[in-house]
Amino acid sequence: MSTARVWQPARALAQRRSFSTTPRALDNYAFIGLGRMGYQMARNLQSKLPPGDTIRLYDINRSAAEKLVEEMKTQQAGGAAPEVSTSVSDAAKEADVVISCLPEPQHVRSTYEVLLKDIADLPPRPQPRLFIDSSTIDPHTSSTVCQLVEDKLPGQGHFVDAPMSGGVVGATAGTLTFMLGSDKSLVGRLEPILLRMGKRVLHCGPQTAGLAAKLANNLLLGIQNIGTAEAMLLGVKLGLDPKVLADVINASTGKCWASEVNNPVPGVVPTAPASRGYEGGFGIELMLKDMKLAQDAARRIDLQQTMATKALDLYERASKDAECKGRDFSVVYQVFDKTNGQGP
C-alpha cells in the first residue's frame, strides 16, 4: 500500500510537499474543459504542483490547450509538466486525479461515458482515482455519473462534485471557494488539490451536496439582483441620488452582494460591471442557466417556487434582448429602466 503525501495547510502548499517512497500517489492529473474558468484553474493547479508531476490538458478546442501549455512552459518556473491530450481518454488514462469543468450537464455525462469506457480495463492506480467535477450542473446528472463511475470502476474510483464560486477573477487569482459534495472520508485527499486552485473548501455533505448548495446560492443571488434593480430604480425615479440610496441600503437591512459589490446602477460602484457598460462579470446567460438548473432540481422533488419562477421568466426574456446578450446579469436594471420599472 502506498504512503499518501502529507497534507500541508493551504498557505504552505506551494512551498512544501512530502513525497512517497513507494509508487507515487496523486502525481498524474488530467484537466478536461478549458473555458474561461477551467483555463485559469488549470494554470494555477499546474503552477502549484511540484516538478515531476504531470498534468494532461484536454479541450474540444485544441488550440486552447496548446496555448495554455505554451504559457505554462514559458511563464512558470517549476510546476508539473504540462501536456496536450488528444482526447478525454488520452488525458485520463494515467491520471490519479481527473478534474472536469464543462458547460452543460450533457457535456459532463458524455465525457465520463467515453473516458470510463476506455479506462475501465486499465490496471488500477496505487489509490482509487479521484474524479472531481467542478461543472455547475443538476444534481440528478451528477448522481447518474457518480453511479456510472461506481459501476465501471468498482472500488477504484470516486466521483465528487465541487462547483465553485468566485468567477473568472477568483479563478485567475486562485481565490475560489469550492462547495464539495463527497464522502467525508475523501476530504483529506480532495482538499489539498482544490486549495491549489482556490482559498476555501466547504464540505457540504455527500455527493451532489455541493451542487445543491451552489444552485440554492445562485437562485438567491438571481432573485436578489432583480430586487436590487427594482429598488434602485424606484429610488432614482423618486429623485434620489443612486449613490446616496446605495449608501442607505448598504447601511440598512436591504444590504446584499447585489447592492454593495455588484450594484446594477452605472456609476454607483466603480468596479461593478454596470460602470463599464455591463461588460465582464457573470453573464446573464449563465444566470439563466443556473436558474433553470435550480428550477429543474425543485421540480424533481415537487417543490413549488414562486419568486424563482418569476425571476427565471424575466432572465429568459432579458437574455433575448439584443442590449442584454453577453452582458452581466445586473443589466436587468436597464430593462426595467426602459420599461418604467414594469419588467420586460
Given the residues 48, 67, 214, 320, the one annotated as active site:
214
Locate 220 and state its grid cell.
438567491
Find out whether 143 and 170 touch, Cβ atoms under 8 Å: no
Find out whether 187 and 203 touch, Cβ atoms under 8 Å: yes
Residues 6 or more apart in contact with residue 333 via CB below 8 angstroms:
229, 232, 233, 264, 265, 274
Find out whether 209 and 163 touch, Cβ atoms under 8 Å: no
DSSP β-bridge partners for residue 184: none
DSSP β-bridge partners for residue 31: 57, 99
**Cα separation of 99 and 101, whole Å?**
7
Catalytic residue list contains 214: yes
Find out whether 31 and 11 touch, Cβ atoms under 8 Å: no
**Cα separation of 41 and 172, whole Å?**
7
Q: Which residues are part of the catalytic machinery?
A: 214
